[in-house]
Amino acid sequence: MINIKNEFEQSYTIMKKLGQQQTDPELVSPEVKVEPADTYIQKAINLLKQQNSNFFVGVRKVVVDTGEGFGHVASGPGQDPAVIHINLQKIKSELKSKLQGASPKQFDKEMVRQIALTISHEKGHVSSYKPETGFVGGEAPAEASESAMMQKLNSFHDRLK
């Protein structure tokens, strides 16, 4: 069950932090851009918003990218810590090797779920970012965010069965 009070408090806290900085309209909106547009990522975004309509407050955009991991965020010169980078090809490749023999429907469902969990992980980093100190807490905030979302998604999918 969605806890409206908790979601409101999270949104208020994020907006309060943003208000202390110069307010950026892209960061206070629960809408998020995807570059380039991708059906899997859009479905993952919709799934995350079903769990928390304000999930993307604090995130500027989700960018399909490459790299070593499934996703990343970055800060420093020329970097925006409010941008989540997703390595779509790596996620797809990993799932193809793990889900050999799965139906296309099963594969698509798990692909969306894995992208949602990756975005949730990276959102944990985004939420932990402080301009003075960078990303605070290492992997702990990201892992906590991913774990909490995994529990919500598992519960959500169990209700759909």
Domain ranges of the chain: 4-160
Q: Residue 73 contacts by C-beta under 8 Å, 6 or more apart in sequence?
A: 81, 83, 84, 85, 122, 125, 126, 129, 135
Q: CA neighbours within 13 Å on the CB side: how many for 134?
A: 9
By mean pLDDT, which of 2-11, 58-67, 98-107, 141-150 is the weakest?
Answer: 2-11
Give the pLDDT band (50/70/90) at residue 1.
very low
70-90 residue pLDDT tens: 999 999 999 999 999 999 999
Residue 66 confidence (pLDDT): 87
pLDDT at 18 over 80: no
Question: d(Cα 145, Cα 21) in Å, to the nearest integer?
Answer: 24
